Structure 1
Amino acid sequence: MSQTPLSGAETPADLLRSALAADPARPLITYYDDATGERVELSVKTFDNWVAKTANLLQDDLAAAPDDRAALLLPAHWQTAIWLFACWSVGLTVCPGGDPAEASLVVSGPDTLDAALACPGERVALALRPLGGRFPELPDGFLDYAAEVPAQGDRFVPYAPVDPDRPALVIDGEQLTGAQAVSLAAEQASRLELGPGDRVLSTLSFDDWAGLGGGLLAPLAAGASVVLCRNSEKLADEVLDARIASERVTHRVT
């Protein structure tokens, strides 16, 4: 059972770096969308590659800087996890489900584009299509993430080191520093009795700590991996049980 973050990590981005150093080939996120039949599995290395590309897009093309506020209007999706860690790699304050009018950057899925227009700064749209596909037609006022990210570099270095004592996350009405988010993740990993090799199935949103902590950060802090399930509320019990068995799930967060 892991009671401390991997290798003394101080920020959420450190958790990913520690996981990469420990075992880059192991699965990190397995994603199911039961409305489309999509299944995606990302190793630590592949996930880190996506994070690096997205962080470069943020820092170089969108001129995002530490302490900028990013509103993420996204479901619990593998690309949402990438955006969270890309923002933390740059040093942004992430607000899952936050008010776009109060953010300098908004990242929106296809169902929240109208709300995202309230952001006075940069707007990025994710089609959330299988295999990370583009929008058939670019929404007005937005960059299409799937069109912009492939050309970005595979390695990321922030212009300034990320300070673990600066704001990193606004969730459940509270603002957390990077160090506080990592500490809470480690505490939750201990409560859930997570350890290396565990597999956590989550059907929860990332818009509150129950889903973000239990379904992403705590498993990462413990060296575990995640099975994210979207649109699974209507699955028959036997279908979900078969998935739990095939994915070797050891814990559920629902």
Structure 2
Amino acid sequence: MNASDRTPADLLRSALAADPARPLVTFYDDATGERVELSVATFANWVAKTANLVQGDLAAEPGDRLALLLPAHWQSAVWLLACSSVGVVADVHGDPAAADLVVSGPDTLERARACRGERVALALRPLGGRFPQAPDGFADYAVEVPGQGDRFAPYAPVDPAAPALAVGGVELTGDQLVTRARQDAAELGLAPGARLLTGRAYDTWEGLSAGLFAPLASGGSVVLCRHLDRLDEDGLAQRVRTERVTRSAV
């Protein structure tokens, strides 16, 4: 990765320039049997479409706060990078009533209704499927995102010194986030091409770092597992072999 990268969106651009075809996020849900693998190019395309939705249809601006009420999931990772691309603060599991807009999974819709701004709901179904019927008062992400543009350009440059992420009582600027992600990557022993398996939740910095930011900062990839506790010892060993995992943070 480039030493000049100062935001998560910078890290993704560098990864795309280096090797767009390599895997970046491999997601498992061990409650449903779902497996999704996204290359850098595919992930970046989802990020661009989502950032265009955020900036265009949702009219979010740099400095706005987005309450991100999502579990560890590949679509959550997309939203984190989309927020960074626009300059919106991703407040992970933050207070919707204090946010300018909210993004919710199916289990947190009632809590999300406290937001007075734009509301987006994700069904979190396999293959990014939509709700059978969109929840009242919410835009269905799976309906809104496909028609968005495949390239994204922010209306204003993103300031690396501006707040970018809030999670578990920690608030980081883009610059601080990249620095911490690089430090974590070194502590986890991640090098370019490394495959990190993690079952950590997306509710702490440690979970977000292992589940996205540290692998991205190191030129590696993540095997992101939801409901990993449903996998027995043999199943976990088989996944490590199948996915060619080189490091674990469970």
* TM-score normalised by the chain length of structure 1: 0.97
User: How far does residue 7 in structure 1 lie from its aligned partner after superposition?
Assistant: 4.2
Write out aligned runs for 1:61-210 (5 A). 61-210=57-206
| Corresponding residue of 1:24 | 20
User: What whole-Å deviation, never above 9, does each CA across 1:183-231 have from its counterpart, x for those lacking one?
Assistant: 0001111111110110001111122111101221011100000001111
* Alpha-carbon distance between aligned partners in 1 of 2:50 and 2:6, rounded to the nearest angstrom: 21
* Alpha-carbon distance between aligned partners in 2 of 1:138 and 1:212, rounded to the nearest angstrom: 28
* Alpha-carbon distance between aligned partners in 2 of 1:174 and 1:239, rounded to the nearest angstrom: 34
Q: Is the Cα contact below 8 Å between 1:6 and 1:222 reproduced in 2? A: no
Helix, strand or coil at the partner of 2:164: strand
What one-letter code is carried by the residue in structure 1 that aligns with 2:209? G
User: How far does residue 174 in structure 1 lie from its aligned partner after superposition?
Assistant: 2.3
* Alpha-carbon distance between aligned partners in 2 of 1:85 and 1:219, rounded to the nearest angstrom: 14
* Alpha-carbon distance between aligned partners in 2 of 1:102 and 1:160, rounded to the nearest angstrom: 24
User: How far does residue 171 in structure 1 lie from its aligned partner after superposition?
Assistant: 1.9
* Alpha-carbon distance between aligned partners in 1 of 2:237 and 2:72, rounded to the nearest angstrom: 21
* Alpha-carbon distance between aligned partners in 2 of 1:77 and 1:46, rounded to the nearest angstrom: 15
Helix, strand or coil at the partner of 2:48: helix
User: What whole-Å deviation, never above 9, does each CA across 1:91-146 have from its counterpart, x for those lacking one?
Assistant: 00111111111100110000000000011111000000000000001100100000
CA-based RMSD: 0.8
| Corresponding residue of 1:56 | 52
Moved beyond 3 Å, runs of 4+: none
Gaps of 5+ in 2: none
User: How far does residue 167 in structure 1 lie from its aligned partner after superposition?
Assistant: 0.5
Gaps of 5+ in 1: none
Q: Is the Cα contact below 8 Å between 2:31 and 2:230 reproduced in 1? A: no
* Alpha-carbon distance between aligned partners in 1 of 2:2 and 2:200, rounded to the nearest angstrom: 24
* Alpha-carbon distance between aligned partners in 2 of 1:234 and 1:217, rounded to the nearest angstrom: 25
Helix, strand or coil at the partner of 1:175: strand
**Quick check: 1:236 aligned with 2:232?**
yes
Number of aligned residue pairs: 250
Q: Is the Cα contact below 8 Å between 1:7 and 1:18 reproduced in 2? A: no
Q: Is the Cα contact below 8 Å between 1:6 and 1:19 reproduced in 2? A: no
| Corresponding residue of 2:211 | 215
Instruction: Pick 1 or 2: higher relative contact order, CA cutoff 8 A, min separation 6.
Output: 1
* Alpha-carbon distance between aligned partners in 1 of 2:27 and 2:225, rounded to the nearest angstrom: 6
Q: Is the Cα contact below 8 Å between 1:31 and 1:77 reproduced in 2? A: yes
Helix, strand or coil at the partner of 2:77: helix
Q: Is the Cα contact below 8 Å between 1:6 and 1:221 reproduced in 2? A: no
User: What whole-Å deviation, never above 9, does each CA across 1:165-192 have from its counterpart, x for those lacking one?
Assistant: 0010112212211000000001111111
Helix, strand or coil at the partner of 2:230: coil
Q: Please, which of 25, 30, 41 is the counterpart of residue 37 of structure 2?
A: 41
